Chains A and B, each alone.
Chain A
Amino acid sequence: MFDSLSDRLGSVFEKLRGRGALTELDVRAAMREVRIALLEADVALSVVKQFIDEVTERAIGAEVVRSVTPGQQVVKIVNDALVSLLGGDAPEGDNQLNIDVTPPAVIMMVGLQGSGKTTTTAKLAKFLTEKKAKKVLMASLDVARPAAQEQLRVLGEQTKVATLPIIAGQQPVAIAERARQTAKLQGFDVVLLDTAGRLNVDTALMAEMAAIAGATKPDEILLVVDALTGQDAVNVASAFKAEVPLTGVVLTRMDGDARGGAALSMRAVTERPIKFAGTGEKLDALEAFDAQRVAGRILGM
Protein backbone atom coordinates (compact mmCIF):
# COMPACT_ATOMS: atom_id res chain seq x y z
CA MET A 1 0.00 0.00 0.00
CA PHE A 2 1.13 3.52 -0.74
CA ASP A 3 1.05 5.67 2.29
CA SER A 4 0.89 9.05 0.69
CA LEU A 5 -0.29 10.50 -2.56
CA SER A 6 3.27 11.66 -3.25
CA ASP A 7 4.43 8.03 -3.25
CA ARG A 8 1.63 6.98 -5.53
CA LEU A 9 2.26 9.76 -7.98
CA GLY A 10 5.99 9.27 -7.77
CA SER A 11 5.57 5.86 -9.35
CA VAL A 12 3.17 7.15 -11.99
CA PHE A 13 5.60 9.84 -13.06
CA GLU A 14 8.85 8.00 -12.73
CA LYS A 15 9.27 7.91 -16.47
CA LEU A 16 8.23 11.47 -17.07
CA ARG A 17 11.00 13.41 -15.42
CA GLY A 18 12.19 16.51 -17.15
CA ARG A 19 9.08 17.09 -19.27
CA GLY A 20 7.96 20.64 -19.96
CA ALA A 21 4.22 20.38 -19.41
CA LEU A 22 1.75 17.76 -18.28
CA THR A 23 -0.15 16.14 -21.12
CA GLU A 24 -3.75 15.10 -20.80
CA LEU A 25 -2.66 11.47 -20.66
CA ASP A 26 -0.17 12.14 -17.84
CA VAL A 27 -2.81 13.97 -15.88
CA ARG A 28 -5.44 11.29 -16.32
CA ALA A 29 -3.02 8.62 -15.11
CA ALA A 30 -2.23 10.74 -12.07
CA MET A 31 -5.87 11.46 -11.37
CA ARG A 32 -6.65 7.76 -11.14
CA GLU A 33 -4.25 7.61 -8.22
CA VAL A 34 -5.68 10.78 -6.70
CA ARG A 35 -9.14 9.25 -6.93
CA ILE A 36 -8.07 6.15 -5.01
CA ALA A 37 -6.25 8.21 -2.40
CA LEU A 38 -9.36 10.33 -1.80
CA LEU A 39 -11.63 7.29 -1.59
CA GLU A 40 -9.29 5.64 0.88
CA ALA A 41 -9.50 8.85 2.90
CA ASP A 42 -13.31 8.44 2.93
CA VAL A 43 -14.17 11.38 0.70
CA ALA A 44 -17.62 10.60 -0.66
CA LEU A 45 -17.66 9.21 -4.18
CA SER A 46 -19.83 11.93 -5.72
CA VAL A 47 -17.57 14.58 -4.22
CA VAL A 48 -14.47 12.77 -5.48
CA LYS A 49 -15.86 12.67 -9.02
CA GLN A 50 -16.61 16.36 -9.11
CA PHE A 51 -13.27 17.21 -7.55
CA ILE A 52 -11.34 15.07 -10.03
CA ASP A 53 -13.11 16.68 -12.99
CA GLU A 54 -12.26 20.16 -11.79
CA VAL A 55 -8.67 19.40 -10.90
CA THR A 56 -8.03 17.47 -14.12
CA GLU A 57 -8.99 20.55 -16.10
CA ARG A 58 -6.73 22.73 -14.00
CA ALA A 59 -3.77 20.35 -14.24
CA ILE A 60 -3.77 19.66 -17.98
CA GLY A 61 -1.12 21.78 -19.55
CA ALA A 62 0.20 23.06 -16.26
CA GLU A 63 3.87 23.93 -16.43
CA VAL A 64 6.16 21.51 -14.67
CA VAL A 65 8.75 23.64 -12.97
CA ARG A 66 12.18 22.24 -13.78
CA SER A 67 13.24 21.81 -10.18
CA VAL A 68 10.28 19.71 -9.12
CA THR A 69 9.04 16.36 -10.30
CA PRO A 70 5.73 16.21 -12.16
CA GLY A 71 4.35 14.18 -9.26
CA GLN A 72 4.99 16.98 -6.81
CA GLN A 73 3.49 19.44 -9.23
CA VAL A 74 0.26 17.45 -9.39
CA VAL A 75 0.23 17.03 -5.62
CA LYS A 76 0.51 20.80 -5.30
CA ILE A 77 -2.37 21.38 -7.69
CA VAL A 78 -4.50 18.81 -5.87
CA ASN A 79 -3.55 20.15 -2.48
CA ASP A 80 -4.33 23.75 -3.42
CA ALA A 81 -7.71 22.74 -4.80
CA LEU A 82 -8.45 20.81 -1.62
CA VAL A 83 -7.49 23.71 0.62
CA SER A 84 -9.67 26.03 -1.36
CA LEU A 85 -12.64 23.63 -1.26
CA LEU A 86 -12.17 23.17 2.47
CA GLY A 87 -12.53 26.90 2.88
CA GLY A 88 -8.87 27.87 3.05
CA ASP A 89 -9.36 31.01 0.93
CA ALA A 90 -12.63 32.00 2.55
CA PRO A 91 -12.70 35.55 3.93
CA GLU A 92 -11.59 36.09 7.51
CA GLY A 93 -14.62 35.88 9.76
CA ASP A 94 -16.36 33.21 7.72
CA ASN A 95 -15.58 30.73 10.47
CA GLN A 96 -16.75 33.02 13.26
CA LEU A 97 -19.98 32.42 15.11
CA ASN A 98 -22.73 34.88 14.32
CA ILE A 99 -23.58 35.75 17.91
CA ASP A 100 -23.27 39.52 18.04
CA VAL A 101 -27.00 39.93 17.66
CA THR A 102 -29.71 41.26 19.95
CA PRO A 103 -29.33 38.85 22.88
CA PRO A 104 -29.86 36.07 23.38
CA ALA A 105 -28.09 34.55 20.39
CA VAL A 106 -29.38 31.03 19.83
CA ILE A 107 -26.99 28.25 18.79
CA MET A 108 -28.49 24.88 17.98
CA MET A 109 -26.44 21.69 17.69
CA VAL A 110 -27.66 18.88 15.45
CA GLY A 111 -26.31 15.59 14.14
CA LEU A 112 -26.34 11.81 14.18
CA GLN A 113 -26.28 9.76 17.37
CA GLY A 114 -22.96 9.82 19.17
CA SER A 115 -21.33 12.39 16.87
CA GLY A 116 -20.27 14.57 19.80
CA LYS A 117 -23.03 17.17 20.12
CA THR A 118 -23.28 17.29 23.90
CA THR A 119 -19.53 17.43 24.42
CA THR A 120 -19.16 20.10 21.73
CA THR A 121 -21.98 22.12 23.31
CA ALA A 122 -20.01 22.21 26.55
CA LYS A 123 -16.76 23.03 24.74
CA LEU A 124 -18.38 25.94 22.89
CA ALA A 125 -19.99 27.20 26.09
CA LYS A 126 -16.64 27.16 27.84
CA PHE A 127 -14.96 28.92 24.91
CA LEU A 128 -17.62 31.64 24.69
CA THR A 129 -17.55 32.17 28.45
CA GLU A 130 -13.81 32.25 28.94
CA LYS A 131 -12.53 33.66 25.65
CA LYS A 132 -15.41 35.85 24.52
CA ALA A 133 -16.70 36.95 27.93
CA LYS A 134 -20.24 35.90 27.09
CA LYS A 135 -22.88 34.92 29.61
CA VAL A 136 -23.94 31.50 28.38
CA LEU A 137 -26.85 29.18 29.10
CA MET A 138 -26.93 25.54 27.94
CA ALA A 139 -30.06 23.46 27.55
CA SER A 140 -30.44 19.79 26.70
CA LEU A 141 -33.42 18.95 24.51
CA ASP A 142 -32.49 15.27 24.50
CA VAL A 143 -35.38 13.38 26.07
CA ALA A 144 -34.48 10.16 24.23
CA ARG A 145 -31.07 8.97 25.40
CA PRO A 146 -30.86 7.80 29.02
CA ALA A 147 -29.18 10.40 31.23
CA ALA A 148 -28.57 12.82 28.33
CA GLN A 149 -29.86 15.82 30.27
CA GLU A 150 -27.87 14.72 33.29
CA GLN A 151 -24.75 14.54 31.09
CA LEU A 152 -25.11 18.21 30.08
CA ARG A 153 -25.87 19.22 33.66
CA VAL A 154 -22.62 17.59 34.83
CA LEU A 155 -20.68 19.25 32.00
CA GLY A 156 -22.21 22.56 33.08
CA GLU A 157 -20.82 22.03 36.56
CA GLN A 158 -17.40 21.15 35.15
CA THR A 159 -17.28 24.24 32.94
CA LYS A 160 -19.09 26.50 35.41
CA VAL A 161 -21.66 27.33 32.76
CA ALA A 162 -25.34 27.62 33.66
CA THR A 163 -27.69 24.87 32.48
CA LEU A 164 -31.44 25.14 32.15
CA PRO A 165 -33.12 23.36 35.08
CA ILE A 166 -34.50 19.99 33.98
CA ILE A 167 -38.26 19.57 34.04
CA ALA A 168 -39.11 15.89 33.80
CA GLY A 169 -41.44 15.04 30.94
CA GLN A 170 -41.11 18.33 29.06
CA GLN A 171 -40.76 17.83 25.30
CA PRO A 172 -37.99 19.24 23.06
CA VAL A 173 -39.82 22.16 21.44
CA ALA A 174 -41.17 23.29 24.81
CA ILE A 175 -37.73 23.00 26.41
CA ALA A 176 -36.23 25.05 23.58
CA GLU A 177 -38.81 27.79 24.03
CA ARG A 178 -38.28 27.78 27.79
CA ALA A 179 -34.51 28.02 27.25
CA ARG A 180 -34.86 31.01 24.95
CA GLN A 181 -37.30 32.72 27.29
CA THR A 182 -35.12 32.09 30.33
CA ALA A 183 -32.07 33.45 28.53
CA LYS A 184 -33.96 36.57 27.56
CA LEU A 185 -35.37 37.22 31.03
CA GLN A 186 -32.13 36.47 32.85
CA GLY A 187 -29.87 38.45 30.56
CA PHE A 188 -27.85 35.66 28.94
CA ASP A 189 -25.90 36.59 25.80
CA VAL A 190 -25.96 33.15 24.24
CA VAL A 191 -28.17 30.09 24.65
CA LEU A 192 -26.85 26.76 23.37
CA LEU A 193 -29.42 24.10 22.47
CA ASP A 194 -28.09 20.53 22.58
CA THR A 195 -30.43 18.22 20.70
CA ALA A 196 -30.83 14.45 20.67
CA GLY A 197 -28.96 12.44 18.07
CA ARG A 198 -31.09 11.52 15.07
CA LEU A 199 -30.70 9.54 11.90
CA ASN A 200 -31.20 11.36 8.62
CA VAL A 201 -33.68 8.63 7.60
CA ASP A 202 -35.85 9.11 10.72
CA THR A 203 -38.56 11.38 9.34
CA ALA A 204 -40.31 11.95 12.68
CA LEU A 205 -37.14 13.07 14.44
CA MET A 206 -36.01 15.13 11.45
CA ALA A 207 -39.36 16.93 11.56
CA GLU A 208 -38.95 17.48 15.30
CA MET A 209 -35.59 19.13 14.61
CA ALA A 210 -37.21 21.44 12.07
CA ALA A 211 -39.90 22.31 14.61
CA ILE A 212 -37.29 23.25 17.22
CA ALA A 213 -35.51 25.45 14.68
CA GLY A 214 -38.81 26.98 13.63
CA ALA A 215 -39.73 27.82 17.22
CA THR A 216 -36.39 29.32 18.25
CA LYS A 217 -35.02 30.82 14.99
CA PRO A 218 -31.39 30.01 15.81
CA ASP A 219 -28.62 32.36 14.72
CA GLU A 220 -26.39 29.35 14.26
CA ILE A 221 -27.34 25.76 13.46
CA LEU A 222 -24.19 23.65 13.62
CA LEU A 223 -24.05 20.16 12.17
CA VAL A 224 -21.77 18.09 14.41
CA VAL A 225 -20.01 15.36 12.43
CA ASP A 226 -17.58 12.64 13.40
CA ALA A 227 -14.29 12.89 11.47
CA LEU A 228 -14.30 9.11 11.21
CA THR A 229 -17.43 9.20 9.01
CA GLY A 230 -17.30 7.36 5.71
CA GLN A 231 -19.35 7.59 2.54
CA ASP A 232 -22.56 8.23 4.49
CA ALA A 233 -21.39 11.82 5.00
CA VAL A 234 -23.17 12.96 1.83
CA ASN A 235 -26.49 11.46 2.86
CA VAL A 236 -26.22 13.03 6.29
CA ALA A 237 -25.16 16.43 5.03
CA SER A 238 -27.84 16.69 2.37
CA ALA A 239 -30.63 15.45 4.64
CA PHE A 240 -29.82 17.81 7.51
CA LYS A 241 -29.33 20.71 5.11
CA ALA A 242 -32.71 20.03 3.52
CA GLU A 243 -34.45 20.09 6.90
CA VAL A 244 -32.91 23.10 8.67
CA PRO A 245 -30.88 26.16 7.59
CA LEU A 246 -27.42 24.98 8.62
CA THR A 247 -24.87 27.73 9.23
CA GLY A 248 -21.79 25.62 9.82
CA VAL A 249 -20.18 22.31 10.62
CA VAL A 250 -18.14 21.07 13.59
CA LEU A 251 -15.85 18.14 12.91
CA THR A 252 -15.21 16.05 16.04
CA ARG A 253 -12.62 13.37 16.85
CA MET A 254 -9.94 15.08 14.81
CA ASP A 255 -7.59 13.70 17.47
CA GLY A 256 -8.07 10.28 15.88
CA ASP A 257 -5.99 8.94 13.01
CA ALA A 258 -8.70 8.93 10.34
CA ARG A 259 -7.77 10.67 7.10
CA GLY A 260 -10.90 12.78 7.58
CA GLY A 261 -12.26 12.85 4.05
CA ALA A 262 -15.67 13.55 5.57
CA ALA A 263 -14.51 17.14 5.99
CA LEU A 264 -14.43 17.58 2.22
CA SER A 265 -17.78 15.84 1.74
CA MET A 266 -19.40 18.00 4.40
CA ARG A 267 -18.02 21.19 2.98
CA ALA A 268 -18.98 20.30 -0.58
CA VAL A 269 -22.51 19.18 0.22
CA THR A 270 -23.55 21.71 2.88
CA GLU A 271 -21.67 24.62 1.27
CA ARG A 272 -21.20 25.86 4.81
CA PRO A 273 -17.92 26.57 6.58
CA ILE A 274 -16.41 24.07 8.98
CA LYS A 275 -16.20 26.35 11.97
CA PHE A 276 -14.50 24.18 14.57
CA ALA A 277 -12.63 20.94 15.05
CA GLY A 278 -12.99 18.79 18.17
CA THR A 279 -9.62 17.40 19.17
CA GLY A 280 -10.26 15.44 22.33
CA GLU A 281 -12.65 14.54 25.09
CA LYS A 282 -11.51 17.33 27.41
CA LEU A 283 -13.58 20.45 27.35
CA ASP A 284 -10.82 22.71 26.06
CA ALA A 285 -10.13 20.42 23.09
CA LEU A 286 -11.78 22.69 20.53
CA GLU A 287 -9.87 24.41 17.74
CA ALA A 288 -10.56 26.61 14.76
CA PHE A 289 -10.75 24.45 11.65
CA ASP A 290 -7.47 24.49 9.72
CA ALA A 291 -8.09 23.79 6.02
CA GLN A 292 -4.37 23.56 5.19
CA ARG A 293 -3.71 20.91 7.78
CA VAL A 294 -6.77 18.85 6.96
CA ALA A 295 -5.97 18.90 3.24
CA GLY A 296 -2.54 17.47 4.00
CA ARG A 297 -4.07 14.85 6.18
CA ILE A 298 -6.59 13.74 3.56
CA LEU A 299 -3.74 13.33 1.10
CA GLY A 300 -1.63 11.52 3.68
CA MET A 301 1.10 14.14 3.77
Chain B
Amino acid sequence: TGSMPLDDARLDAIEEALIAADLGPAVAGRIRDRLADVKFAKGIDEAGLRAAVAAEVTAVMAPVAKALQVTAFPRPHVILVVGVNGSGKTTTIAKLARRFTEADYTVMLAAGDTFRAAAIAQLKIWAERIGVPVISGEQGADAAGLAFEALKAARAAGSDVLIIDTAGRLQNKAGLMDELAKMRRVIQKLSPAAPHDTVLVLDATTGQNALNQIEVFRDIAKVTGLVMTKLDGSARGGVLVAAAERFRLPIHAIGVGEGMDDLRPFTAEEFADALTGTS
Protein backbone atom coordinates (compact mmCIF):
# COMPACT_ATOMS: atom_id res chain seq x y z
CA THR B 1 0.00 0.00 0.00
CA GLY B 2 1.15 3.53 -0.65
CA SER B 3 1.26 6.67 1.40
CA MET B 4 -1.90 7.54 3.29
CA PRO B 5 -2.78 10.14 5.88
CA LEU B 6 -2.36 9.00 9.46
CA ASP B 7 -6.02 9.04 10.47
CA ASP B 8 -7.76 7.87 13.62
CA ALA B 9 -8.46 4.43 12.22
CA ARG B 10 -4.79 3.79 11.61
CA LEU B 11 -3.82 5.19 14.98
CA ASP B 12 -6.44 2.94 16.59
CA ALA B 13 -4.96 -0.06 14.82
CA ILE B 14 -1.50 0.78 16.14
CA GLU B 15 -2.74 1.30 19.65
CA GLU B 16 -4.53 -2.04 19.54
CA ALA B 17 -1.48 -3.86 18.22
CA LEU B 18 0.58 -2.44 21.07
CA ILE B 19 -2.04 -3.46 23.62
CA ALA B 20 -2.10 -6.97 22.14
CA ALA B 21 1.68 -7.05 22.66
CA ASP B 22 1.17 -6.38 26.41
CA LEU B 23 2.36 -2.77 26.55
CA GLY B 24 -0.74 -1.99 28.58
CA PRO B 25 -3.42 0.57 27.70
CA ALA B 26 -1.60 3.57 29.21
CA VAL B 27 1.72 3.13 27.40
CA ALA B 28 0.00 2.14 24.16
CA GLY B 29 -2.09 5.31 24.39
CA ARG B 30 0.97 7.47 24.97
CA ILE B 31 2.78 6.06 21.94
CA ARG B 32 -0.33 6.63 19.87
CA ASP B 33 -0.45 10.27 21.02
CA ARG B 34 3.20 10.84 20.21
CA LEU B 35 2.67 9.48 16.69
CA ALA B 36 -0.42 11.63 16.24
CA ASP B 37 1.68 14.67 17.11
CA VAL B 38 4.17 14.01 14.33
CA LYS B 39 2.98 15.63 11.12
CA PHE B 40 3.57 13.16 8.33
CA ALA B 41 3.03 15.82 5.67
CA LYS B 42 2.95 13.46 2.69
CA GLY B 43 1.15 10.73 4.58
CA ILE B 44 2.93 7.54 5.49
CA ASP B 45 2.81 3.97 4.19
CA GLU B 46 2.41 0.87 6.39
CA ALA B 47 6.12 0.03 6.48
CA GLY B 48 7.00 3.60 7.36
CA LEU B 49 4.42 3.65 10.11
CA ARG B 50 5.72 0.44 11.64
CA ALA B 51 9.21 1.86 11.54
CA ALA B 52 7.98 5.00 13.29
CA VAL B 53 6.41 2.90 16.07
CA ALA B 54 9.56 0.79 16.32
CA ALA B 55 11.60 3.98 16.64
CA GLU B 56 9.41 5.12 19.55
CA VAL B 57 9.90 1.79 21.31
CA THR B 58 13.62 1.72 20.56
CA ALA B 59 14.06 5.16 22.09
CA VAL B 60 12.55 3.90 25.36
CA MET B 61 14.47 0.63 25.39
CA ALA B 62 17.94 1.60 24.20
CA PRO B 63 19.08 3.09 27.52
CA VAL B 64 18.27 -0.12 29.45
CA ALA B 65 20.00 -2.64 27.17
CA LYS B 66 23.04 -3.73 29.13
CA ALA B 67 24.79 -7.10 29.21
CA LEU B 68 25.78 -8.82 32.45
CA GLN B 69 29.47 -8.42 33.12
CA VAL B 70 31.93 -10.13 35.41
CA THR B 71 33.52 -7.25 37.27
CA ALA B 72 33.83 -8.18 40.94
CA PHE B 73 37.21 -7.95 42.56
CA PRO B 74 38.06 -9.94 44.48
CA ARG B 75 36.30 -12.80 42.72
CA PRO B 76 33.81 -14.43 42.61
CA HIS B 77 31.23 -12.24 40.95
CA VAL B 78 28.03 -13.36 42.66
CA ILE B 79 24.76 -13.41 40.73
CA LEU B 80 21.53 -14.11 42.61
CA VAL B 81 18.65 -15.19 40.38
CA VAL B 82 15.09 -14.55 41.58
CA GLY B 83 11.54 -14.52 40.26
CA VAL B 84 8.05 -15.92 40.47
CA ASN B 85 7.37 -19.63 40.03
CA GLY B 86 8.13 -21.19 36.69
CA SER B 87 9.43 -18.03 35.03
CA GLY B 88 12.61 -19.76 33.84
CA LYS B 89 15.18 -19.05 36.55
CA THR B 90 16.93 -22.41 36.61
CA THR B 91 17.09 -22.67 32.83
CA THR B 92 18.40 -19.11 32.57
CA ILE B 93 21.12 -19.95 35.08
CA ALA B 94 22.18 -22.85 32.87
CA LYS B 95 22.28 -20.51 29.87
CA LEU B 96 24.31 -17.90 31.75
CA ALA B 97 26.74 -20.52 32.99
CA ARG B 98 27.14 -21.73 29.46
CA ARG B 99 27.82 -18.20 28.17
CA PHE B 100 30.35 -17.42 30.89
CA THR B 101 32.24 -20.68 30.46
CA GLU B 102 32.41 -20.05 26.73
CA ALA B 103 33.98 -16.69 27.55
CA ASP B 104 36.57 -18.60 29.60
CA TYR B 105 35.31 -17.66 33.02
CA THR B 106 35.17 -20.39 35.65
CA VAL B 107 31.65 -20.80 36.97
CA MET B 108 30.11 -22.41 40.03
CA LEU B 109 26.39 -22.90 40.63
CA ALA B 110 24.47 -23.03 43.89
CA ALA B 111 21.26 -25.06 44.10
CA GLY B 112 19.45 -22.54 46.29
CA ASP B 113 15.97 -23.84 45.47
CA THR B 114 15.72 -26.23 48.36
CA PHE B 115 11.93 -26.24 48.21
CA ARG B 116 10.54 -27.50 44.91
CA ALA B 117 10.56 -31.20 44.12
CA ALA B 118 13.61 -32.16 42.03
CA ALA B 119 14.77 -28.55 41.67
CA ILE B 120 18.22 -29.63 42.86
CA ALA B 121 18.30 -32.56 40.44
CA GLN B 122 17.29 -30.21 37.61
CA LEU B 123 20.18 -27.81 38.26
CA LYS B 124 22.61 -30.70 38.70
CA ILE B 125 21.75 -32.08 35.27
CA TRP B 126 22.36 -28.67 33.72
CA ALA B 127 25.66 -28.31 35.58
CA GLU B 128 26.79 -31.67 34.32
CA ARG B 129 25.87 -30.86 30.72
CA ILE B 130 27.76 -27.58 30.87
CA GLY B 131 30.63 -29.01 32.88
CA VAL B 132 30.52 -26.73 35.91
CA PRO B 133 30.49 -27.65 39.62
CA VAL B 134 27.33 -27.21 41.66
CA ILE B 135 27.01 -26.83 45.41
CA SER B 136 23.85 -28.39 46.78
CA GLY B 137 22.29 -29.53 50.00
CA GLU B 138 19.27 -31.55 50.96
CA GLN B 139 15.75 -30.66 49.89
CA GLY B 140 14.24 -28.63 52.72
CA ALA B 141 17.60 -27.24 53.87
CA ASP B 142 18.05 -23.52 54.63
CA ALA B 143 18.64 -21.67 51.36
CA ALA B 144 20.62 -18.83 52.95
CA GLY B 145 22.98 -21.31 54.61
CA LEU B 146 23.46 -23.08 51.31
CA ALA B 147 24.28 -19.80 49.56
CA PHE B 148 26.83 -19.03 52.29
CA GLU B 149 28.51 -22.42 51.85
CA ALA B 150 28.53 -22.01 48.09
CA LEU B 151 30.24 -18.64 48.31
CA LYS B 152 32.91 -20.14 50.57
CA ALA B 153 33.39 -22.97 48.08
CA ALA B 154 33.54 -20.63 45.09
CA ARG B 155 36.20 -18.57 46.86
CA ALA B 156 38.24 -21.61 47.75
CA ALA B 157 38.02 -22.87 44.17
CA GLY B 158 38.95 -19.47 42.77
CA SER B 159 35.79 -19.31 40.63
CA ASP B 160 35.14 -16.18 38.62
CA VAL B 161 31.37 -16.40 38.84
CA LEU B 162 28.94 -17.90 41.35
CA ILE B 163 25.31 -18.10 40.22
CA ILE B 164 22.74 -18.83 42.92
CA ASP B 165 19.37 -20.37 42.07
CA THR B 166 16.39 -19.61 44.30
CA ALA B 167 12.94 -21.12 44.69
CA GLY B 168 10.17 -19.40 42.74
CA ARG B 169 7.97 -17.14 44.84
CA LEU B 170 5.09 -14.79 44.18
CA GLN B 171 5.87 -11.22 45.16
CA ASN B 172 2.82 -10.89 47.40
CA LYS B 173 4.12 -13.58 49.79
CA ALA B 174 5.88 -11.43 52.36
CA GLY B 175 7.43 -14.33 54.26
CA LEU B 176 8.98 -15.84 51.15
CA MET B 177 10.20 -12.44 49.97
CA ASP B 178 11.88 -11.85 53.33
CA GLU B 179 13.84 -15.04 52.79
CA LEU B 180 15.52 -13.37 49.83
CA ALA B 181 16.48 -10.42 51.99
CA LYS B 182 17.90 -12.87 54.50
CA MET B 183 19.85 -14.67 51.79
CA ARG B 184 21.48 -11.36 50.89
CA ARG B 185 22.39 -10.57 54.48
CA VAL B 186 23.97 -13.96 55.00
CA ILE B 187 26.02 -13.75 51.80
CA GLN B 188 27.15 -10.26 52.76
CA LYS B 189 28.76 -11.57 55.92
CA LEU B 190 31.37 -13.09 53.63
CA SER B 191 31.40 -10.52 50.87
CA PRO B 192 29.82 -7.12 51.59
CA ALA B 193 29.50 -6.23 47.90
CA ALA B 194 27.69 -9.46 47.04
CA PRO B 195 25.46 -10.25 45.31
CA HIS B 196 26.99 -8.11 42.58
CA ASP B 197 23.97 -8.69 40.39
CA THR B 198 20.48 -9.70 41.40
CA VAL B 199 18.61 -10.76 38.29
CA LEU B 200 14.83 -10.93 38.12
CA VAL B 201 13.65 -13.47 35.56
CA LEU B 202 10.36 -12.50 33.89
CA ASP B 203 8.21 -14.74 31.71
CA ALA B 204 7.20 -13.07 28.41
CA THR B 205 3.72 -14.54 28.68
CA THR B 206 3.10 -12.51 31.82
CA GLY B 207 0.90 -9.47 31.46
CA GLN B 208 0.69 -6.29 33.51
CA ASN B 209 1.48 -8.09 36.78
CA ALA B 210 5.14 -8.08 35.69
CA LEU B 211 5.23 -4.44 36.80
CA ASN B 212 4.26 -5.40 40.36
CA GLN B 213 6.82 -8.19 40.24
CA ILE B 214 9.58 -5.78 39.33
CA GLU B 215 8.58 -3.24 41.94
CA VAL B 216 8.40 -5.67 44.85
CA PHE B 217 11.44 -7.76 43.93
CA ARG B 218 13.39 -4.54 43.45
CA ASP B 219 12.36 -3.19 46.85
CA ILE B 220 12.93 -6.37 48.84
CA ALA B 221 15.50 -8.40 46.92
CA LYS B 222 17.32 -5.33 45.51
CA VAL B 223 17.00 -6.48 41.93
CA THR B 224 19.61 -4.83 39.69
CA GLY B 225 18.60 -6.17 36.29
CA LEU B 226 16.11 -8.21 34.26
CA VAL B 227 16.05 -11.19 31.93
CA MET B 228 12.94 -12.04 29.94
CA THR B 229 12.36 -15.66 28.93
CA LYS B 230 10.10 -17.47 26.46
CA LEU B 231 10.31 -14.82 23.77
CA ASP B 232 10.40 -17.71 21.29
CA GLY B 233 6.64 -18.04 21.73
CA SER B 234 3.83 -15.81 20.51
CA ALA B 235 4.05 -13.45 23.50
CA ARG B 236 5.93 -10.25 22.70
CA GLY B 237 6.81 -9.13 26.22
CA GLY B 238 5.64 -5.57 25.68
CA VAL B 239 5.29 -4.99 29.41
CA LEU B 240 9.06 -4.41 29.30
CA VAL B 241 8.38 -1.09 27.60
CA ALA B 242 6.24 0.05 30.51
CA ALA B 243 8.89 -1.33 32.86
CA ALA B 244 11.70 0.55 31.14
CA GLU B 245 9.76 3.81 31.41
CA ARG B 246 8.93 3.26 35.03
CA PHE B 247 11.90 1.51 36.63
CA ARG B 248 14.82 2.02 34.23
CA LEU B 249 16.38 -1.27 35.34
CA PRO B 250 18.90 -2.78 32.92
CA ILE B 251 17.67 -5.62 30.72
CA HIS B 252 20.49 -8.11 30.32
CA ALA B 253 19.32 -10.83 28.00
CA ILE B 254 16.36 -12.72 26.60
CA GLY B 255 15.54 -16.41 26.56
CA VAL B 256 14.47 -17.85 23.22
CA GLY B 257 14.28 -21.57 23.87
CA GLU B 258 14.75 -24.42 26.32
CA GLY B 259 18.34 -25.24 25.39
CA MET B 260 21.48 -23.93 27.04
CA ASP B 261 22.44 -21.90 23.96
CA ASP B 262 19.07 -20.18 23.75
CA LEU B 263 20.07 -16.92 25.42
CA ARG B 264 20.45 -13.73 23.39
CA PRO B 265 21.71 -10.29 24.29
CA PHE B 266 18.88 -7.81 24.69
CA THR B 267 18.95 -5.16 21.99
CA ALA B 268 16.40 -2.37 21.76
CA GLU B 269 16.13 -2.47 17.97
CA GLU B 270 15.52 -6.20 17.70
CA PHE B 271 13.02 -6.09 20.53
CA ALA B 272 11.16 -3.17 18.93
CA ASP B 273 11.19 -4.85 15.53
CA ALA B 274 9.77 -8.08 16.94
CA LEU B 275 7.13 -6.09 18.81
CA THR B 276 5.97 -4.16 15.78
CA GLY B 277 6.52 -6.89 13.21
CA THR B 278 8.99 -4.71 11.35
CA SER B 279 11.62 -7.33 10.60
Is B a genuine binding partner of A? yes
B239 in contact with A257 (CB, 8 Å): no
Residues of the A chain whose Cβ atoms lie less than 8 Å from the Cβ of B138: none
Given A40-B25, A114-B88, A145-B258, check contact A230 B205 (CB 8 Å): yes
Contact A146 B170 (CB under 8 A): no
Q: Indicate if A101 sits at the interface (CB-CB under 8 A).
A: no
| A230 & B208 in contact (Cβ 8 Å cutoff) | yes
Supposing A113-B230, A235-B234 touch, asked if A228 and B20 sit within 8 A by C-beta, the answer is no
In contact, B19 and A231 (Cβ under 8 angstroms): yes
- Given A256-B172, A257-B171, are A147 and B207 also a contact pair (CB < 8 Å)? no
A226, A231, A258: which contacts B21 (Cβ < 8 A)? A231
Asked whether, in the complex, the Cβ of A229 is within 8 Å of the Cβ of B206, the reply is: yes
> Does B233 lie within 8 Å of A231, measured CB to CB?
no
| One of A45, A148, A256 near B84 (C-beta < 8 A) | A256
- Which of A15-23, A89-97, A149-157, A288-296 touches B? A149-157
Contact B234 A39 (CB under 8 A): no
Assess the B207–A231 pair: CB atoms within 8 A: yes
Q: Which residues of A contact B172 (CB under 8 A)?
A: 255-257
Closest approach, in angstroms, between the C-beta of B277 and any C-beta of chain A?
Answer: 14
Whose C-beta in chain A lies nearest to the C-beta of B17? A45
Cβ A281 vs Cβ B116 within 8 A: yes
Contact partner of B121 (CB less than 8 A), chosen from A39, A147, A232, A259, is: A147
- Establish whether residues B170 and A257, one from each chain, have CB atoms under 8 Å apart when the complex forms: yes
A: contact size bracket: 35 or more
A256 to B276, CA, bound (A): 30
Q: Contact at A258–B209, with CB atoms within 8 Å?
A: yes
The reply to whether A114 and B203 form a contact with Cβ atoms under 8 Å apart is: yes
Name B87's closest neighbour in chain A (CB-CB): A114
B199 → chain A closest CB, angstroms: 17
A124 within 8 A of B: no
A269 CB to closest chain B CB (Å) equals 13
* A residues 194-251 touching B (CB-CB < 8 Å): 199-201, 226, 228-232, 235-236, 239
Shortest beta-carbon distance from A57 to chain B in Å: 21
Q: Tell me which residues across on chain A come within 8 A of B208, comparing CB atoms.
A: 40-42, 230, 258-259
Chain B residues near A158 (CB, 8 Å)? Answer: 117
Chain A nearest CB from B150 CB (Å) reads: 19
Q: Which residues of the partner chain B approach A201 to less than 8 Å between Cβ atoms?
A: 232-234
Please state if A39 and B24 are interface contacts (CB–CB under 8 Å): yes
Bound Cα distance A207, B25 (Å): 35
B125 within 8 A of A: yes
Give, as a whole number of angstroms, the nearest-CB distance from B86 to chain A. 3
5 pairs of A and B residues whose beta carbons are closest in the complex: A230-B207, A114-B86, A42-B207, A151-B118, A146-B125
